[in-house]
Structure 1
């Protein structure tokens, strides 16, 4: 499938599903791909094992996810976001209780180790978190953003101390993404995407993606999700007006605006090869868009998965052609293609 285009209409099937009593906001694969973590409005953090896909068949019946670790009341509020460090030995979660929790994780025992660190510098809901490797001293930095004062904080994971507060956004920070090095981007309710470089300690570029380029009164739309392809050349932003924008970072220009959904695009992610774009929307759908042709032309896209309610996130497996989704329908599902 990867590299073959969308000609064969791939039919992803739900291999496993996790049920919760409230909306499931976030799910992220461990860098090893053997596990994934799921955070819910029920304040519960779960870590599940990645299922064996070698014997997957077309007539597969969705089964329950295998939960290896479960912590109830992990936060005092809903878990809005979570992230793994690149080495997979740290996990961070953010909540509407305005805190970030940072924990050491042992992938072999699938358990938390030592004392968790609670970070309380935010004065509103923490909407997204991501880790950056500090190459100078081989430690991890945690970037977090959200509502309240709209500041983005950078925390040293060794000391658990926030040492930078980045200002610039005038609306809630809804999405953060890093793609290696000291660079990361943030998407905000203020309709802008900002690019940050931790070496220069500031914003190096600000983009207001124009979601309806032909309109003379175009004001853009709140940026609900952002991602960058592994090469660092292509950015995608997902907006509340159902638009996606492909942006050429090096050329500093919009390539095109398209609408893969009929409601807010809450999640955007390039596949590991960057052949495909996976988007999740408030129209209950996950859509796969083929990026292998001319990016200025109309892009082929198909619905590959569906939930009973809003899709909040979709995440690719780090090296297999499968993904996890989370939804307001109180489930998180793992989707894969049966062998041809």
Structure 2
């Protein structure tokens, strides 16, 4: 596999979150310095800083783009979620206030109508918001801290991953009122699950955590209503903190506390890349919708890996 790596001084303190815009032309980054930064990206070209959003009062932990790429949501350790216009970063649309503390994870519904948020330390709640109004439609307090949330590509289900080692699948119903009902529970990790991501084609979920393994599984096997483990990747030596699928669902990138980023073939588990250019724990990984760029960050640097997997 041919690769090219570029590094950029992105923030004045540790970076906790990265997210590509749906068209792959913009990368958002955020972290301990309480800022969200927008970078213009071209394949093969350098990142160019476009804007800085400075309004968070505490560390920024999570980022999520709306499906149309017009809005960006960011969550912080104060429990607030900021929604702002990407084309005009100084124009903040809304602030959602409902979490008591850390907003660890954010995800938009495929239609852009809803935003789901997951609370970590001091909160442990799953909350669903009407995106255009900021009205909270659902509050579900969990026993354990949440580290990841996500929507299925169909928009009919949610996932949440937590400190108790479970990945839960929730079915969304709107009649007579909007509700989220837990329908499946994946129990194979046994230790905290820090990342869980649906494949873009909706067929599989990849999850990883304190056990240092990547588990790839089918949420609902054809022969039963139980999740089915497809394969397990062994290669990380310390807890795994971040996962990202390629846009075509063929590959998975993983990274964590061993300071390594690995690239896997999704179904076989074959290792395609073992990148050791980070000097600190890796907290976030994002795969560009264009398919050939992987962004990762640990300390104050953003690493852009250009890949050719054909």
Scaled by the length of structure 1, what TM-score is found? 0.82
Superposed displacement of residue 77, structure 1? 0.8
The answer for the alignment partner of 1:32 in structure 2 is: 23
Residue 146 of structure 1 pairs with residue 119 of structure 2: yes
Give the conservation status (yes or no) of the 8 Å contact 2:205–2:217: yes
The answer for the alignment partner of 2:262 in structure 1 is: 287
Residue 123 of structure 1 pairs with residue 104 of structure 2: no
CA distance in 2, matches of 1:261, 1:156: 38
Deviation sequence 1:224-283 (CA, Å, 0-9, x none):
000111222211111112111111222122223332311111111211111111001111
Show structure 1 runs of 4+ deviating over 6 A: none
Residue 178 of structure 1 pairs with residue 160 of structure 2: no
Residue 263 of structure 1 pairs with residue 238 of structure 2: yes
The answer for the alignment partner of 2:4 in structure 1 is: 13
Deviation sequence 1:82-132 (CA, Å, 0-9, x none):
0100011111001111111111332xxxx2364431112001200010111
Residue 209 of structure 1 pairs with residue 183 of structure 2: no
Deviation sequence 1:291-313 (CA, Å, 0-9, x none):
254xxxx6335313531101111
Superposed displacement of residue 198, structure 1? 2.2
CA distance in 2, matches of 1:13, 1:262: 25
The answer for the alignment partner of 2:224 in structure 1 is: none
Superposed displacement of residue 290, structure 1? 1.2
Superposed displacement of residue 16, structure 1? 4.4
CA distance in 2, matches of 1:175, 1:93: 14
Deviation sequence 1:22-54 (CA, Å, 0-9, x none):
11011110111111111021001110000341x
Give the conservation status (yes or no) of the 8 Å contact 1:101–1:118: yes
**Structure 1, 275-284 or 176-185: larger mean CA deviation:** 176-185
Superposed displacement of residue 205, structure 1? 2.7
Give the conservation status (yes or no) of the 8 Å contact 2:7–2:301: no
The answer for the alignment partner of 1:309 in structure 2 is: 280
Larger Rg: 1
Residue 98 of structure 1 pairs with residue 79 of structure 2: yes
Superposed displacement of residue 17, structure 1? 1.5
CA distance in 2, matches of 1:339, 1:126: 35
Scaled by the length of structure 2, what TM-score is found? 0.89
CA distance in 2, matches of 1:176, 1:257: 21
- RMSD of aligned alpha carbons: 2.1
Unaligned runs of 5+ in 1: 1-9, 57-62, 212-219
For residue 262 of structure 1, give the secondary structure of its aligned residue in structure 2: coil
Q: What is the number of residues matched between the two proteins?
A: 299
The answer for the alignment partner of 1:45 in structure 2 is: 36
CA distance in 2, matches of 1:300, 1:105: 36
For residue 80 of structure 1, give the secondary structure of its aligned residue in structure 2: strand
CA distance in 1, matches of 2:276, 2:67: 28
CA distance in 2, matches of 1:115, 1:259: 43
Residue 71 of structure 1 pairs with residue 44 of structure 2: no
